Amino acid sequence: MAPRLRPTAGPAPVTAPVTAPAHITAPATAAPGPAAARVPAPGRGGRLRRAGYGVLVAAAVVLPTTGAARGAEVPAPAPTVAAGLPTATPGALAARYTGSRADIAAAERAAADHGDHERAAALHAMADPARQFLSFDGRSGGRSVEVFGELAGAERVAVLVPGADTSFEHGDRLRAGALALRQRLGPHAAVLAWLGYRTPATVSPEAVTSTRAEQAAPRLREFTAALHRALPGARLAVLCHSYGTVVCAHAAAGLPATDLVLYGSPGVGYPDAAALHTTATVWAGRAGGDWIADLPHLSLRLPFTTLGFGTDPVSPQFGAHPFPAGQGGHSDYLRPGSAALESLARIVEGRIVEGRTPMGEVNTRA
């Protein structure tokens, strides 16, 4: 996700301040707690809250008439490798990687024939024999699962769920983060970059509603269930970034994960961690330089949808375990050498991580 829209954005001007409709709900104001991030200057919170109302109302105006399309669909053949993961033996995985590579090459040819050279170039890079794709489907915007490390026999597995504007053409950051986490974890660990849904555009009505997340959640549950069956002894952590935290929250009740980690989150559409009904330990963190801290955590209920995601996951009211996330920006959580990467790695390893603030003192116990 990217910084919030300014009040001038949208098809029609919205005058601020905007009086909150009756169905807008927001968490009660509380003193900063253990997971608090930056503290707004005096009076700033009220201005942000009013601006938030304006943004939500503007989104409500454009939502019924703005399409979800981000350009024409790029045709692609149906994949030959079936979804799911029956086994995770070295031979079975090698066969899947080979089959997915052939599916990617076929999709590359289709994209080139269609005249979409950007998509074709991205797929050409994905077809590199050094890369390992557990699954691939080039249709409907494209979905894939890339594996970093040796999945067969892995004792620790991390599944990365990305946020807005992640796609085949714009997946370099997801891949770089997965590589950094894999290198930090060392042997006997695997990282899976799960691009299992069509992410919303940052500047779109879909980015402030849970529709895409609700559509993606069953796929994430099915994937993690298959992964758990194939590797029943592995410790599984699901790491969710930005809009990906909304996806994970909607899938939480069915995830066979030990840990569910929310970072850089705009809110998840649930009032607290207990409402997720998950057996996983729920973690939340936000870096000191993350612009998403300035977003008002509001929820506007409309007859056809809900805009905004409510309670801030790093607030004490949400009830997640805080972890130290350093001073980086919204896209820096998996940056090599960062405090956030260290915290995420320790969670995947099953080592206790507790932070007094996302960028303050750290209390860890191996």
> Which domains are present in the chain?
140-365 (3.40.50.1820)
For 158: left if phi > 0, alpha if psi spans -120 to 50, otherwise beta; the answer is: beta
How far, in whole angstroms, is CA 202 from its chain's centroid? 12
Averaged pLDDT for residues 283-293:
97
Q: Please tell me the least confidently modeled range out of 15-19, 148-152, 282-286.
A: 15-19
Q: Is the pTM of this model over 0.85?
A: no
- Asked if 147 and 190 count as a contact pair (C-beta separation under 8 A), the reply is yes
**Which of 147-156, 250-259, 271-280, 292-301 shows the lowest mean pLDDT across its residues?**
292-301
Could you tell me the sign of the dihedral formed by the alpha carbons of 325, 329, 330, 331, in that order? negative
Three-class secondary structure of residue 353 per DSSP: strand
> In this model, does residue 346 exceed pLDDT 80?
yes
Contacts with 325 (C-beta within 8 Å, 6 or more apart), sequence order: 263, 285, 286, 287, 288, 290, 333, 339, 340, 343, 355, 358, 359
Q: What span, in angstroms and rounded, lies between the C-alpha atoms of 82 and 135?
A: 8
Structure tokens at 283: 């973690």
